[in-house]
Structures are given as C-alpha cells and as structure tokens.
Structure 1
Amino acid sequence: MQGIARRKRAPPHVFTTFCNKSLNLQFCAMADDRMPKVDISKEANKNIIDFIKLAEKNNLERVRKLQRLRRNNLITAFSLGAGVLGIYGYSIFADILRLYNLRALKQLSQNFIMDTRITDKIVKAAGKIKGGHVCEMLAEASPCAFKIIVGDVLSVNMESLFPPEEAKVWTDAPPNIHLIGNLPFNVATPLIIRWFKNISERSSAWKMGRVQMTLTFQKEVAERMVAPILTKERCRLSIMAQNWCHIEHKFNIPGKAFVPKPDVDVGVVHFVPLVTPIIDLPFDLVEKVARCLFSFRQKFCIKGISTLFPKSTRDDYARRMLDESALPHDLRPFQITLPEVGRLCFAYQRILDESPSLAKYNFRQHLDAELEDILSHEEALK
C-alpha cells in the first residue's frame, strides 16, 4: 500500500479552533440582528450569586437554631441548679429550725420566711434605712446584735425604743425610724388599727414624728387597704388606712415561700403617715362612722348610717346626715369617696354636739340585748 498517500491528522488545537469557528459561523447565520444578545457569562454569575445567598441564608438559620438551643440549655441548667440549691438551702433552714427548737404555732398564725432574697426585698421596700433605727416585729434569728423586748405587741409603748435625738417635728420629713415586720395573720388587722389610732394621737412610736411602716398582711387585707372607690375590696379598713397614711402595696409573696406554707398569699404594704389627715376628726368618731357605714355594704348607705342612732330617731338623723353632706340617698358605701365620708363624719359630729348622749349608743350592743330578750321570751313560752 505504498502508493496510497497518508492524510496527516490535524493537531488538536487546530481542530478546536476550526470547530469554534464553524459554530460561530452557524450561530451568526441563524441569529437575527434584531434579537437581544445574551451574555452567557453574566447569567452564570447571577445564578452563582443567588446560590451563595441561599446558602448563606440557610447557614444563618442554622446558627440561630443553635443559639436558641444553647440558650434553652443554659436556662434549663440554671433552673436545675437553682432547684438543687433551693432544696439544699431549705434543708439547711430546716436543720436550723430543729437546732434552735423553733416551731411555728398554728394557733398564733406563725409562718417563717426562709428565703433571704424575700427578706432583702422587704427591707428595700422600706426605703433608705442605712444608719437608721429599725424596730422589727417578731424578729428572726440574726447574726447582728439586737435586743429582744418581751411583751404584748398590741399594748407596748414604742416611744422608749428609740433615742430622743432622732425625734422630728410632725410637719418635717419622716425620721430615719422604721417599723418592719412579718405580722401573724390573727393580729395584723387589730394591730394596724391600733397603730392608726396612735398616728392620729401622735403617741407611742409616732411621738418621734411620722415614723414609716413596712408590714406584711394577707393579700386580701393588703388589697382592701389600698382599694379605691367602686371596687369590691373597698371597706372600712380602706377608709381608716387612707385617711391617716399614704399607702403603697409594694408586692406580693406567694404562700409557698413560707414555712409552714399558709393557704393564702401575702402582700407587703408600706405606710407613710400624712401630715394632716383627710378627715381631721377624732379617731374613734371616724372609725365608728366607717364601721356603721360599711356594715351593710351592698345596701344603700342610709341603711348603715341609721345604725348610728337608736331606733326611735334612726330615720330622721340618717336623712339629716345625708342631706347635710349633700349626698344622694341611693348611694352604696363603696361608691363614696373619702372626702364624702368626711362630710358624713362632720354631720355626725354636729348631731353629737346637740345630743352628746348619742355618742354612747352602740348598735351591736343593743342588737345583742334585743336578741337576748327575744330568746328569753321564747324560753318562757316553752
């Protein structure tokens, strides 16, 4: 086969060049000059950028999920740690109670606050007490030096507990003297009523000036003391408290924070005596009017006011008090403001000035006497 000439194969780069030129010629032949030219490299770059953005978005979502998971894990860890420490701390306090043979007496409504964070919060609610004098009602075990005074908290004279040089004029700012306490439920209301009377007379601790108080009560009692008009909590205690003090319901303490656990929650209330009471009349008179007014809370107020007087003159005097106070006869006690209660008290005072013997009338005592007469009469008929 020597006569046949061998065709030489073109080098690869020549073939590639030839193909590219052929394709370019073919595309040019098919393309119309009016058609838009497409930049293939630009479209490819756009797709790559979109893909990168999508990947970045997915990565950010994964990072956020991991951060949420980490935060939830930390919260769970702290909760478990706090629970373990709480159980450990409770066991320590229980050991302290056993060590000092401390027992909460149910008949005295005693409940201990074992959480020092809560006691610190109560102290903060009292305001600035640094360098001051604090009388703590029913104080707990403390590493600080303190003096225990044994006596009836309802009758003890607290004036002697504080140095005379701390006394201030009543119209001045309150002295740096504070009464702070976790009061047993069964004495809390009688005690605060007694102290309101001391404030009105500026006696006992309030000879030193407008001494502040930070005390605990059942949550319902705390709400009654700060209750405004037109609320279901408005009562006699609301009138007495708001007449002589500026009151703040600071916060509530859940029952589970006490040992033993009571059936109710507790409210912390801060009292600052007013320079001048809203109703500037003797305490006993204001208390009597408020007590009778709210003795029939859901009835018209004329019903409660009438119990201030004997049956023979009851209706006439009750109408006179409402007329002189410029109050409608169909008002209910929880609808009456404190200044309006004051007008009723002044009207009652004018009636007493005319007939002083009416001051001795007590509706409850006469009611009990009438009941005894009825019962004795029924016994005689048997």
Structure 2
Amino acid sequence: MGHQARKRFGQNFLHDPNVIRNIVKSIRPKVGDRIVEIGPGMGAITEELLDATEGELDVVELDRDLIPGLKVKFFNHKGFRIHESDALKFDFATLKQAPEEQLRIVGNLPYNISTPLIFHLLSYSGLVKDMHFMLQKEVVQRLAAGPGDNNYGRLSIMAQYYCQVQHMFDVGPGAFKPAPKVDSAIVRMVPHQDLPYPVKDHKTFERIVRESFAMRRKTLRNNLKKTISSEELEKLGIDPALRPERLGLPEYTRIADYIYERADNG
C-alpha cells in the first residue's frame, strides 16, 4: 500500500513493529469493544486492532487517497467501517449503537490539529470509555502536567477536568516515515465517571481558565483584573499574587463558580 505522506494532513506513518505492539498492548483491545481509530493512515495499528476485536472497527480518515488501499487491505473484515471525514468536525455520537455502549478512541494524531481535536473529543467524554493517542511529546507533557510544572496550562486543566491523564511512553522519530523533527509520546485519557470538581457553568469555567493563562508570566491579579478583584480572590482563599500555573483544578472551579453565581445574583 504505497502512499506519499502529505504535509497538509500532518502525516507521519508509523512503521516500527515494536512500537505498534507496545501501543496495542497499552490499549488492551478485546472482542466486543467499540473501538474508533482516528487517522488509520496505511493501517499499521488498524491491523492489530482488527485482530484483537475479531474484525469490528470504525475508522475516521480524511485523506481520500488512503481509503481505497484500506478497503483492499481489510476487505475480508465485514465489521471494518470507514468514515471519510475530518475528525475535527465528525460527530462521534453517531458511532454509538447501544445505550450502554462506550467508545474507545485511538489514533496517531496529526501534530497540526492535535490540540483542537482533543478539545473536540472532550465534548464527547460522556460517551467515551478511554482514549489512547500518539501525540507530539510536548503536547502529552502539557496534558499530564500538574500545578507548578512548566508544561502546566490551559490544556492540562481542561483535559484533567474531564479525564485522568497518563503519559504512557515516548516514541522516537525513527518509528515513523517520514521521520518527524520532534519526539512523540503515547497518552492515555480516561474520562471520570463522576467529575471530581463539577462546575456550575462550563462556559464561565472555560473563560476563566483562558483569561488566567492569557499571559503566563503575569499574576492572577493582572490576568483576571477585569473579571474578579484581588479582595474577592482572597475571600476564596486564593493568593492574587500567584501566577496561573500555581493553581490547581479545584481553585479554578472555585473561581468560575463564584463568578457565575455573582452574575446570577447580580
């Protein structure tokens, strides 16, 4: 199955059998799982997933030139379904076939769309059992980082609001064709069955987190001055002189709930 990787799709095809084996081992696919693969490429991981699930798999692929090859390669798997679509716009809820069914989403995600795609997938967290992705190592570090870490920021908070995040293992450039200029890593994201810090209004929460990290080097007092006063932050038990990366998820949800309730009562 020959195919020239396309820069505009951010394609880097995985070819190292050891890495593929380790990824599938991390996913632990089994018969009966509703697995969805984003960007199957030339089917390196796809083949292993189909073997483990006895031929049941949905894949979402944007590059129409890859689709004929995938159809030929996996023609003998009747449960292999290709959805020609942009994963950023795809409605993953359409893949759920039974009320109790949960999706297991996997993929070697293009670096150029990984962050917006993760935000899109987080909106389906209630339908998802787990997600395993190959991403740029730096993105995985940001997803998994905790307060005080240099990689900690908006992406960390929003991902950890919805999911437990685990940096599984790193993958060097040599595992891909063409080899990217950066290291990659595998991340596991497991949506919380019950949100540990549910907010009263999600849009307010998103806005507060975005504003807090608008300028990382500035303090909360500066970044949030149009939204909340230093005195109000202190009443919430939060030091306004702290930089945004010093606060954890509980503090951000506390600020968001306070602002939402204040607007509601005002």
Q: Give the TM interval when normalised to the shorter protein.
A: 0.7 to 0.9
Residue equivalent to 1:187: 113
- In the TM superposition, what whole-angstrom CA distance separates every residue of 1:221-265 from its partner, at most 9, and x where no partner exists? 100111111111110111011111011111111112111111111
Residue equivalent to 2:261: 350
- Residues 318 and 276 from structure 1, CA distance in 2 versus in 1: closer, same or farther, beyond 3 angstroms? farther
Residue equivalent to 2:207: 288
Q: Among the aligned pairs, what percent are the same residue?
A: 28
Structure 1 gaps of 5+ residues are: 1-95, 169-174, 310-316, 356-382
- In the TM superposition, what whole-angstrom CA distance separates every residue of 1:128-183 from its partner, at most 9, and x where no partner exists? 43432211111133444222111221122222324316x25xxxxxx4x4111000
Residue equivalent to 2:93: 159
Judge which range, 271-280 or 125-134, deviates more: 125-134
**8 A Cα contact 1:321 1:344, kept in partner:** no
Cα drift, residue 211 of structure 1: 2.1
Residue equivalent to 1:253: 171
CA RMSD of aligned residues (A): 1.9
TM alignment of 1:59-70, pairs within 5 A = none
Residue equivalent to 1:124: 25
What amino acid is aligned across from residue 194 of structure 1 in structure 2?
A: H
Q: 2-side partners of 1:247 and 1:151: how far apart?
A: 27
Cα drift, residue 120 of structure 1: 2.0
1:216 aligns with 2:134: yes
TM alignment of 1:97-108, pairs within 5 A = 97=2, 102-108=3-9
SS in 2 for 1:296: coil
Cα drift, residue 287 of structure 1: 1.6
Q: Which of 233, 238, 241 in structure 2 is aligned with 1:327?
A: 238
Q: 2-side partners of 1:135 and 1:189: how far apart?
A: 18
**8 A Cα contact 2:14 2:176, kept in partner:** yes
- In the TM superposition, what whole-angstrom CA distance separates every residue of 1:304-325 from its partner, at most 9, and x where no partner exists? 1125x4xxxxxxx332541332
TM alignment of 1:190-339, pairs within 5 A = 190-199=116-125, 202=126, 206=127, 210-281=128-199, 282-307=201-226, 309=227, 317-339=228-250
Cα drift, residue 121 of structure 1: 1.3
SS in 2 for 1:153: coil
What amino acid is aligned across from residue 216 of structure 1 in structure 2?
A: M
Q: 1-side partners of 2:124 and 2:97: how far apart?
A: 19
Structure 1 or 2, whichever has the larger Rg, is 1
Q: 2-side partners of 1:263 and 1:160: how far apart?
A: 36
Q: 2-side partners of 1:225 and 1:321: how far apart?
A: 29
**8 A Cα contact 1:322 1:344, kept in partner:** yes
Residue equivalent to 1:61: none
Q: 2-side partners of 1:244 and 1:321: how far apart?
A: 27
What amino acid is aligned across from residue 215 of structure 2 in structure 1?
A: F
TM alignment of 1:127-138, pairs within 5 A = 127-138=28-39
Q: TM-score, normalised by structure 2?
A: 0.81
> Higher strand proportion, which one?
2
What amino acid is aligned across from residue 204 of structure 2 in structure 1?
A: L
**8 A Cα contact 1:113 1:259, kept in partner:** yes
Structure 2 gaps of 5+ residues are: 48-72
- Residues 351 and 266 from structure 1, CA distance in 2 versus in 1: closer, same or farther, beyond 3 angstroms? same
**8 A Cα contact 1:216 1:268, kept in partner:** yes
- Residues 321 and 193 from structure 1, CA distance in 2 versus in 1: closer, same or farther, beyond 3 angstroms? farther
**8 A Cα contact 2:205 2:257, kept in partner:** no
